[in-house]
Each structure stands twice: as C-alpha cells, then as structure tokens.
Amino acid sequence: MRVAVAQLGPRRHYAEARVLHAAGLLDRLFTDLYAGDKPRLVRAVTRVPWLARLPDVRRWLGRAAPGVPAGRVTSFDMLGIRGVLGLRRARDEADRYRLYAEIGATFQRAVIRHGLGSADTLLASTGAAAQLMAHASATGVHGVLQQFEPAATIGREIVSEERARWPGAELQPSSEIPAELWDHLLEEERRAIADAGTVLVASRYTERSMARVGYPTHHVRLLPLAVDLAQWTPRPDRVAGGDGRLVVVYAGQIDLRKGVLYLIEAVRRLRSRNIVLKLAGTCHLREDLVAPPGLAVELLGPVPRPDMPELMRSADVFVFPTLGEGFGLVQVEALACGTPVIATTECGEVVEDGINGHIVPPRDPDAIARWLDHYAARPGELLAMRRAARERAEQFSVVAYGERLLQVLSVARPDQLSHAAVEASAP
C-alpha cells in the first residue's frame, strides 16, 4: 500500500502523514502553506529574531511534519497565502465560506493535476475532498475520507434551535450563508461521502448524524482522535476542593452550539459560593448571560495554547456541555491533566460514566447541577477519579492513534498492508 495524504492546514500536526511515513507507507503529502520543505528559508527567518516572533511567521514555522522528508511533500504555498489574506478581508461568515469553498476546490484541482504517483490509496478530509474522492474512484484508487465533523445540516439545525430558545443571546447574529452556497456545500459533502471507499469518523455521534440526514454509513470506520500526552500532565499535589471551593472549567468557543448557557444555568440553580466557574475562549454571547451578577464566573478570554495545561490542572471538574461535536479533543486534554470530565452524549465517546467523570444528556442543566453539587459537598470523591482520568487519556495517545489508523487501513485494503507496517505505527 502507498498512501497520498491531501491536507489543507496543519491539522493535528500532520499526524496521518507522520504515522504513514513511519510505517513506510507514505507516498506523498499534499498541503498548502508549509515550512517543513524549505529549510533554507526557515534558517533565514529564524536568524532575524523580531521576524521569527511575528504571530503569522510563528504559525508558518509550526507548519512542518517532523520526520517526513521534504522530498515527500508537495506544498501549494501561494494558495495558502491567498487563503490567509482572504480571511483577513472577509466581512462576514458568507465571505469566509465562499473562500473556504474556493480554496478547497483549487487545492483539489492542483492535487489532481500533479498526479498521485504510485499511491493506491488517497486520504483527504471533508471540505476539500469531493473532487478527490471522485478522482480516486474513477482511477481505481481507494479513497479514504476523514469526516471528523457531524453532517453539516445537523450543526445548522442545532444553532437554529438554540437561537429560538435563547433569542438575542448572541453578541451579533451570524450572517446567513447564501442558499446557493449552502446547497453547494451540502452537495460537496454528500458527494465525498458517497464516492469514498472508506469514511473515518472520530465518534459514533458523527456516524449517527450522517445516518440522520440519509448519508450512507456502510463504509464508516471509527477512528478516535489523540493528544500528545507529554504536554498534558497531572499535578500530583492538586487536592480537589482544597480551598473550600469547587473549581469548574470550560474551554472552547463560548457560543450557542457548545451549550455553555446550560452550564451557566446549572451553576445559577445551585447559587453556591463554593463553586467557581472559569470560562476560557472567545465569547460570542452576551456577558450578562454568561457571567450574570451574583455568580462566581470568570471570563478568561482566549487562553494561549501553552497555558492551557495549567488551566486544566487547576480545575476540580471540567464540563463539556456541547450540543453537537465531532469529537471534542478538549475532553482528552482535561483527562490527561487528571481532571474528571462531565460531558454530554453528543460528542466523542471519551468519558467513562462514574469512573473518570459523568455523561449527561444535552440541554440538561439539572443533570450538570446534580453532579457539581455532589462534588462540591464531597470533593474527596474526586481523588480516585483523577487517577482514572489520566489512565483513560492514555488510551488516546498519539501512538494509539497511529495504531488505530493503520488498523483501519488494513481493514480497508487488507491485501495491501503488511503486519509489519501496522507494528511500525508510532509517528
């Protein structure tokens, strides 16, 4: 088996390409703006300290797949630059979606023009995959589609329902995507799923969302995501409720789809001074709703990525009240830091109910409040959960992800993947 990976952006630090190269299976990585194949330019930039510290330059320097030789990478850099500049000029959500559609289509045409070389398998992600999956199907290449977000229609339905439940909650209502563009996006998603030989999902929730809108699911395979456990570690001396307060943390976009208002409602119903809620992320909702007077709610704003592990370690409980998530990697990050998680059913299957956290229904503030109240009164019970949390996170390591990816490919193309390759799965 020889695999070509077509990937816009540095998603998961090019984990798939790294895994496949380590196993001797990577034919080529196609991507956009990329630094890993330009060592001379990287050296020149890093010799100028003020230039290397610029945010855009720092992001570009991070676009490299460690261990993957430059000769295995084809990068369409001008396309990436066009995307960055286009996002800066975008006036609203409609402009952004038009840009995503244009960049995705151009990227796919560029990959097809280049050719897949000796690859007999093509791995691509929804949003930039419909042309590629059709091309793979027509040329006898096995197309593997990463559908790591729920069906687009489901996400839109959730937001519409929440706007009806919480009228005026958003700081500024998102602009509507023009109907013709929305129809195009749905058709691209449908075509990619239909033409793929294998569809990878990170959660059964995503699979259920596909079935709900009528997409085929016979070729779906489960591939949970992973975190670098070396970056997310527990703090041994952390004692739950040590200062008499239960510290509850949420991290992510603070918007309607994430269900944050149900977490706020849970804390409001408890009216306990012993519970402190910290919200990390960009807030798209009115402050009087997410931090109402009388509640101990701290709006932290966007927290820099290097500071997130310490925030997770400071929490007694992490709450993930999402209404619809392809996986929710933040759950694993919290568990890896030894923090028990309360999550809804509408995301990746990470939390083991009653062992390292609790699973609650979506839109159920009473269920969230019940567990927060329980642990505010009995913080000592969280100690065993903290140990179990880390143990559970270790099942979502990068090495485990690599093993699962190769196992999925071995099922898809059992005649092409050797047992030795499966064993060489660590990136």
Q: How would DSSP label each residue in 3-27?
A: EEEE-SS-GGGGHHHHHHHHTT-EE
The continuous run of DSSP H or E covering 344 comes out as strand 341-344
Write down the architecture of domain 246-396 according to CATH. 3-Layer(aba) Sandwich (3.40)
336: exposed, middle or buried (Cβ count in 10 Å: 0-12, 13-18, 19+): buried
Phi/psi class of residue 363: alpha, beta or left (left: φ > 0; alpha: ψ in -120 to 50)?
Answer: left
What pTM was estimated for this model as a whole?
0.89
Alpha helices in 213-360 (DSSP H): 260-270, 287-290, 308-314, 329-336
Whether residue 211 is predicted with pLDDT greater than 80 in this model: the reply is yes
Q: What is the mean pLDDT of residues 153-166?
A: 94
Whether residue 241 is predicted with pLDDT greater than 60 in this model: the reply is no
Q: Which of 250-254, 295-299, 369-373, 423-427 has the lowest mean pLDDT?
A: 423-427
Give the per-residue pLDDT at 52.
Answer: 86
Helix, strand, or coil (residue 258)? coil
Write down the architecture of domain 3-226+397-423 according to CATH. 3-Layer(aba) Sandwich (3.40)
**In whole numbers, what is the pLDDT of the chain averaged over residues?**
91
Give the per-residue pLDDT at 240.
Answer: 58
Contact 408, 200 (CB under 8 A): yes
What are the start and end residues of each CATH 3.40.50.2000 domain in the chain? 3-226+397-423, 246-396
Whether residue 223 is predicted with pLDDT greater than 60 in this model: the reply is yes
